[in-house]
Structure 1
């Protein structure tokens, strides 16, 4: 009985602890980045262009100007391996693929897209060719789907079946250079932007253009669909009395670029709000899991957190 009591006490103690590198569930809703950094991951010798987190395990992939990809264990802060295969800078990374078989997709200015299998020590299992210029971005339509989307400087968006390696659809755009092409959370819509200062919303199944977002004065470097968790805050910014249903996957879009501001739009292409603060190109955007905060990073070497409940202040 004493042994059972000790075991029960130890279990209670373990349950009360927060695992290394993770927040308690109730803390994740309010946690924000702060100094000092817990770990600094050092191995790349030149500029890092992109990162991607594994959707399940504590793996982080980073792509570099020297054409390599590095796989890290972000909980331990350790380098696991270096992937070599691309011959020019790695532009974009994303984890996804068939359910139960997550893959890492990468693309490069060497005109290729590569698929790497984490279950086989990140072996390069397939290389996809089809773009005629630098490939800017790769995104899985959903993290448990076979379809991968790529965007290129050749003004095309291509949809690939990663199980066969075949391109099943090509969309031609008047954007001179498409920089980013993230999907909505259900994979039904794409938003893309690039060299002509314009972002557009596209229906995946038909390739039909649904909205054009006009307002940037320079190239668009990044764009994302806002997650449903943010709809309450964004609908207030839009002057609505109640938020749209969270089942809708493409109500709001956020964009950033070389003209420095971050802009928020609705699905019809109406500009809702502009956040000014960066003094150089805006390179990346992400919405906090709570939906309350928008985080942006830029070439001014800053990461900014905008409180959507306070109109971005």
Structure 2
């Protein structure tokens, strides 16, 4: 058992590297820390997110690229930054959202990033072009979680509007809207075969959905508080 200590404020997001050897964490202290999984030592502190007045800005989401060479972070400063894992240098700053970025996800091939924001949209970014190529609109409130399907053909999103939406990656069309949670959907995840989706909510439940039919096949209860994090508005 390990306790990783070093942040000076609440930790909002954590992610394992693909090889399981490192952990990245994003915090209200405006930093991303990279930890060695075996020793528990902090090996890097990444700094650079700042608001429009130059003050440090909260890091709300972190994720490793599929090859483990980069880390993407979403922030209260409305940007996504992509960091070189080895050097700790910020390689890209992606700008386009009009409100804070709640969630970031790499496509399976690492060429694209999806981001969910309090501006109610999801943006799809081309890594090579350093710009967004699509804006997915349909949620009526903050987009709190985004993830690509294992084959990269769909994107799932969870929102403060209490729904999960499934989007066709190529066309940007919303294919399904899954409803059943009684509070905001904080987290979404595809099963490895892409046939199911799990969602965590502030209604204290986890629901498992059949991807094809859109029906809830299981509801897991037992938590005494919100599932998948702290409820907070930027």
2:108 is matched with which residue?
Answer: 185
Cα deviation for residue 226 of structure 1 reads: 1.2
Structure 2: gaps (5+ residues): 51-56, 217-234
Between the aligned partners of 2:101 and 2:182, the Cα distance in structure 1 is 23
Larger relative strand fraction: 2
The question of whether the paired residues in 1 share the 8 Å contact of 2:150 and 2:193 is answered with no
Alignment of 1:284 onto 2:187: yes
Structure number, greater radius of gyration: 1
The question of whether the paired residues in 2 share the 8 Å contact of 1:292 and 1:307 is answered with yes
Between the aligned partners of 1:310 and 1:118, the Cα distance in structure 2 is 39
Check 1:125–1:212 CA distance in 2 against 1; reply closer, same or farther (3 A cut).
same
1:27 is matched with which residue?
Answer: none
Listed one character per residue, the Cα deviations across residues 12-69 of structure 1 (whole Å, up to 9, x for unaligned) are: xxxxxxxxxxxxxxxxxxxxxxxxxxxxxxxxxxxxxxxxxxxxxxxxxxxxxxxxxx
Structure with more relative contact order (C-alpha pairs < 8 Å, separation 6 or more): 2
1:165 to 67, 73, 88: 88
Alignment of 1:221 onto 2:140: no
1:197 is matched with which residue?
Answer: 120
1:117 is matched with which residue?
Answer: 36
List structure 1 segments (4+ residues) > 6 angstroms apart after TM superposition. Answer: none
Cα deviation for residue 172 of structure 1 reads: 1.4
Check 1:174–1:269 CA distance in 2 against 1; reply closer, same or farther (3 A cut).
same
Between the aligned partners of 2:212 and 2:69, the Cα distance in structure 1 is 37
Structure 1: gaps (5+ residues): 1-79, 229-248
1:255 to 157, 163, 166: 157
Check 1:312–1:166 CA distance in 2 against 1; reply closer, same or farther (3 A cut).
same
Listed one character per residue, the Cα deviations across residues 151-182 of structure 1 (whole Å, up to 9, x for unaligned) are: 10001111111211111111112331000011
Task: Give the root-mean-square deviation of aligned CA atoms.
Answer: 1.5
1:96 to 17, 20, 32: 17
Cα deviation for residue 146 of structure 1 reads: 1.6
Check 1:293–1:159 CA distance in 2 against 1; reply closer, same or farther (3 A cut).
same
1:148 to 61, 71, 84: 71
Cα deviation for residue 83 of structure 1 reads: 1.1
SS at match of 2:212: helix
Q: Which aligned pairs between 1:129-148 and structure 2 lie closer than 5 A?
A: 129-132=47-50, 133-142=57-66, 144-148=67-71
Between the aligned partners of 2:102 and 2:20, the Cα distance in structure 1 is 28
Between the aligned partners of 1:113 and 1:208, the Cα distance in structure 2 is 23
Larger relative helix fraction: 1
The question of whether the paired residues in 2 share the 8 Å contact of 1:220 and 1:257 is answered with yes
Cα deviation for residue 224 of structure 1 reads: 0.7
1:38 is matched with which residue?
Answer: none
2:168 to 252, 266, 283: 266
Cα deviation for residue 101 of structure 1 reads: 8.0
The question of whether the paired residues in 2 share the 8 Å contact of 1:175 and 1:193 is answered with no
